């Protein structure tokens, strides 16, 4: 891939020169640029300062902005979640690092009952510009308590926006939009993507929250996904193209608010839909997407909507078992084949 190729910015207007950087570097640039632009933005969480974050997202920010704006916290997720509420109400824009999505369960009262409800309960008087960041997902051997995909929990809660980018370009633009948003945004980063490179332009650009993106156009079937599984879906689509099956791939990017319209428009064209995510299939976010496709696009379907997700079990530590526990490129390709056959 050419690191300096021209690409159109997210607003569809200005062509920009690009370069290849890692996913975690793109996130760091987003935070750095927003901290420079707005002195009310600050970062805190476990190991964000001296260690630069568990995946180096905040590396170097402590030296640049000092300990009043880059703060290492105690190992107390309740504190981490709750302090953001007070900070945001009093005029700051906290970017909070929970390290792992799994740990957010300890802060559910602060996130679900305090942050998510505050603006509603006080008649909109308070803005809560909070970004809660967390790594999630399997595939790098972190075992059962550091590997879950729990995003469906949070999409169920009114007052929370939920974001899960699939590539470095979107990650930077979405995080900048999240930091500028006056609502609570949960920003989930698949840990296997941190060392993936992507084309990211220098300079200012935003990717709006709540807007899906067609990553690959196709005519025979639609794959709907988010985060790392979008990359798998694109690889599966290339594999299927050699078999004469033309697949469209849609990246949701924001899970809530959900932009379902591009999905329905795609299904009108392809007449088939496969929804894929790494979370456990039972009760996963894919069920909501599948239901909306059925409700809004039923007349266009030539086959029932199909779902792929992880097995209903804790994620194993053993690599062969771990890799077999969630959808792969091959299982996605096979899912489309079955969809084409009406299975």
Query: Taking the CA of residue 70 as centre, how many other CA atoms within 13 Å lie in the half-sphere pointing to its CB?
Result: 22
Q: How confident is the model at residue 16 (pLDDT cuts 50, 70, 90)?
A: low
* Residue 89 and residue 80 in contact, taking contact as beta carbons nearer than 8 Å: no
Supply the pLDDT for residue 343. Answer: 72
Is there a single domain that holds both residue 182 and residue 53? Answer: yes
Is there a single domain that holds both residue 89 and residue 153? Answer: yes
Domain count, the chain: 2
Is there a single domain that holds both residue 80 and residue 194? Answer: yes
Supply the pLDDT for residue 6. Answer: 41
**d(Cα 27, Cα 56) in Å, to the nearest integer?**
10
Is there a single domain that holds both residue 54 and residue 197? Answer: yes
Which of the residues are catalytic?
77, 146
**pLDDT over 90 at 141, yes or no:** no
Q: Give tens-digit pLDDT for 187-225.
A: 999 999 999 999 999 889 999 999 999 999 999 999 999
Domain that holds residue 26: 6-201
Asked whether residue 128 is domain-assigned, the answer is yes
Average pLDDT, the chain: 93
Asked whether residue 88 is domain-assigned, the answer is yes
Asked whether residue 257 is domain-assigned, the answer is yes
Share of the chain above pLDDT 70, in %: 95
Is there a single domain that holds both residue 178 and residue 58? Answer: yes
The shares of helix, strand and coil residues in the chain, as percent rounded to the nearest 5, are 40, 25, 40
Is there a single domain that holds both residue 328 and residue 294? Answer: yes
Segment 315-327 shows an average pLDDT of 91
Segment 47-69 shows an average pLDDT of 96
**d(Cα 223, Cα 248) in Å, to the nearest integer?**
6
Share of the chain above pLDDT 90, in %: 87
Segment 49-58 shows an average pLDDT of 94
Last residue of a domain, one of 177, 201, 225: 201
**pLDDT over 70 at 7, yes or no:** no
Cα dihedral 114→120→123→127 (10° resolution): 60
Q: Give tens-digit pLDDT for 229-280.
A: 999 999 999 999 999 999 999 999 999 999 999 999 999 999 999 999 999 9
Segment 62-73 shows an average pLDDT of 97
Q: Number of helices (H) and strands (E), helices first, in the chain?
A: 12, 15
**d(Cα 304, Cα 292) in Å, to the nearest integer?**
12
Segment 46-65 shows an average pLDDT of 95
Segment 120-130 shows an average pLDDT of 92
Which is nearest to 136 in space by CA: 185, 196, 188, 204?
A: 188
* Residue 94 and residue 88 in contact, taking contact as beta carbons nearer than 8 Å: yes
Supply the pLDDT for residue 203. Answer: 86
Is there a single domain that holds both residue 173 and residue 277? Answer: no
Q: What is the CATH number of the domain that holds 104?
A: 3.40.50.970
Q: What is the CATH number of the domain that holds 265?
A: 3.40.50.920
Is there a single domain that holds both residue 183 and residue 277? Answer: no
Which residues are 95's β-sheet partners?
43, 131
Residue 113, by phi and psi: left (phi above 0), alpha (psi -120 to 50) or beta?
A: alpha
169-178, 234-243, 334-343: segment of lowest average pLDDT: 334-343
Instruction: Tell me whether residue 145 is exposed, middle or buried, using C-beta atoms within 10 angstroms of its C-beta: 0 to 12, 13 to 18, 19 or more.
Output: exposed
Q: How confident is the model at residue 139 (pLDDT cuts 50, 70, 90)?
A: confident
Q: Tokens 């985060």, residue? A: 227
Last residue of a domain, one of 181, 201, 221: 201
Is there a single domain that holds both residue 10 and residue 57? Answer: yes
33 φ/ψ angles, rounded to the nearest 5 degrees = -65, -40
Supply the pLDDT for residue 17. Answer: 65
**pLDDT over 90 at 4, yes or no:** no
Is there a single domain that holds both residue 184 and residue 219? Answer: no
Is there a single domain that holds both residue 55 and residue 196? Answer: yes
Is there a single domain that holds both residue 176 and residue 317? Answer: no
Which is nearest to 100 in space by CA: 147, 59, 61?
A: 147
Residues 6+ apart with CB under 8 A from 38: 93, 179
Asked whether residue 1 is domain-assigned, the answer is no
Q: How confident is the model at residue 13 (pLDDT cuts 50, 70, 90)?
A: very low
Last residue of a domain, one of 156, 180, 201: 201
User: What is the DSSP annotation of 59-120?
Assistant: TTHHHHH-TTTEEEPPS-HHHHHHHHHHHHHTT-EEEEEEEEGGGGGGGHIIIIIIIHHHHH
- Strand, helix or coil for residue 280: strand
**pLDDT over 80 at 325, yes or no:** yes
């Amino acid at each position: 891939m050419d690191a300096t190729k021209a690409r159109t910015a997210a607003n569809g207007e200005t062509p920009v020169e690009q370069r290849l950087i890692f996913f975690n570097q793109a996130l760091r640039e987003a935070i750095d640029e927003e901290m420079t632009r707005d002195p009310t933005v600050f970062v805190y969480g476990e190991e964000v300062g001296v260690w630069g974050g568990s995946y180096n997202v905040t590396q170097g920010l402590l030296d640049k902005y000092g300990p009043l704006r880059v703060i290492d916290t105690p190992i107390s997720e309740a504190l981490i979640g709750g302090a953001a509420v007070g900070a945001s109400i009093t005029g700051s824009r906290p970017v909070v690092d929970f390290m792992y999505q799994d740990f957010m369960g300890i802060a559910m009262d602060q996130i679900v009952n305090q942050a998510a409800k505050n603006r509603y309960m006080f008649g909109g008087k308070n803005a809560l510009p909070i970004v809660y960041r967390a790594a999630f997902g399997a595939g790098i051997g972190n075992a059962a308590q550091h590997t879950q995909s729990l995003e469906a929990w949070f999409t169920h809660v009114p007052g929370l926006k939920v974001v899960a980018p699939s590539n470095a370009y979107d990650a930077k633009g979405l995080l900048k939009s999240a930091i500028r948003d006056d609502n609570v945004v949960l920003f989930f980063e698949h840990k296997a993507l941190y060392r993936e490179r992507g084309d990211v332009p220098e300079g200012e650009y935003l990717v709006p929250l709540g807007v899906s993106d067609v990553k690959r156009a196709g005519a025979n079937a639609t794959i709907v996904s988010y985060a790392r599984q979008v990359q798998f879906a694109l690889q599966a689509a290339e594999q299927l193209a050699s078999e004469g099956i033309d697949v469209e791939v849609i990246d949701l990017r924001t899970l809530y608010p959900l932009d379902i319209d591009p999905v329905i428009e795609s299904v009108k064209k392809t007449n088939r839909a496969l929804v894929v995510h790494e979370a456990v299939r039972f009760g996963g976010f894919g069920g909501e997407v599948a239901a909306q496709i059925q409700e809004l696009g039923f007349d266009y379907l030539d086959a029932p909507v199909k779902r792929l997700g992880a097995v209903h079990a804790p994620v194993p530590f053993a690599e062969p078992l771990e890799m077999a526990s969630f959808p792969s490129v091959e299982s996605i390709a096979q899912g489309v084949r079955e969809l084409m056959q009406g299975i």
